[in-house]
């Protein structure tokens, strides 16, 4: 698990959004401070996380991929259905889950998710560096 090991001490640039989110999550930050009353905005975070560009692109790629049996595409719909139902159940029972975990448990889960996010961010960076090195002929 190199990305997990690297993420603990990585020095990413200030422009790396995943790294910024990771640092905030590991530090236990709950949000940004609002300096003026007119800076408040409502952002629907649930929609981009559930059906964002990554999810849409993944479905488009898998749906356009040729398969021998058209019934194989049903697995894509099954995956969408399972993830949608899982999200519905978790969001529907969020109050109960929060009460059972408590504030400390919720913060611990948030920090673990921050560590996983950092691992994904580092893996993206590693993959990108290796892809560029392969394109330039530096790595076989």
Using DSSP's 3-state secondary structure scheme, residue 56 falls into: helix
37 is a domain residue: no
First to last CA, the chain: 23
* Buried b or exposed e, range 6-30, using 16+ CB within 10 angstroms: bbeebebeeebebbeebbebbeeee
92 is a domain residue: yes
56 is a domain residue: yes
11 is a domain residue: yes
What's the pLDDT at 4? Answer: 47
94 is a domain residue: yes
What's the pLDDT at 35? Answer: 60
39 is a domain residue: no
Helix axes 74-92, 94-135, angle to 10 degrees: 140
Place of tokens 């519905």: 88
What's the pLDDT at 21? Answer: 61
38 is a domain residue: no
- Parts of the chain with a pLDDT under 70: 1-49
- What is the domain range of residue 113? 2-32+48-135
Total tally of structural domains belonging to the chain: 1
Helix %, strand %, coil % of the chain (to 5) = 75, 0, 25
140 is a domain residue: no
């Amino acid at each position: 698990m190199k990305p997990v090991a690297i993420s603990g001490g990585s020095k990413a640039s200030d422009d790396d959004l995943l790294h910024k989110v990771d640092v905030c999550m590991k530090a236990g930050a709950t949000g940004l401070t609002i300096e003026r009353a007119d800076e408040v905005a409502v952002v629907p975070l649930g929609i981009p996380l559930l059906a964002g560009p990554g999810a849409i692109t993944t479905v488009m790629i898998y749906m356009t991929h040729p398969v021998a049996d058209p019934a194989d595409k049903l697995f894509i719909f099954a995956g969408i259905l399972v993830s949608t139902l899982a999200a519905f159940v978790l969001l529907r029972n969020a109050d109960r889950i929060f009460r059972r975990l408590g504030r400390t448990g919720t913060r611990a889960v948030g920090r673990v998710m921050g560590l996983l996010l950092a691992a994904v961010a580092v893996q993206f960076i590693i993959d990108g560096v290796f892809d560029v090195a392969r394109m330039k002929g530096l790595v076989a």
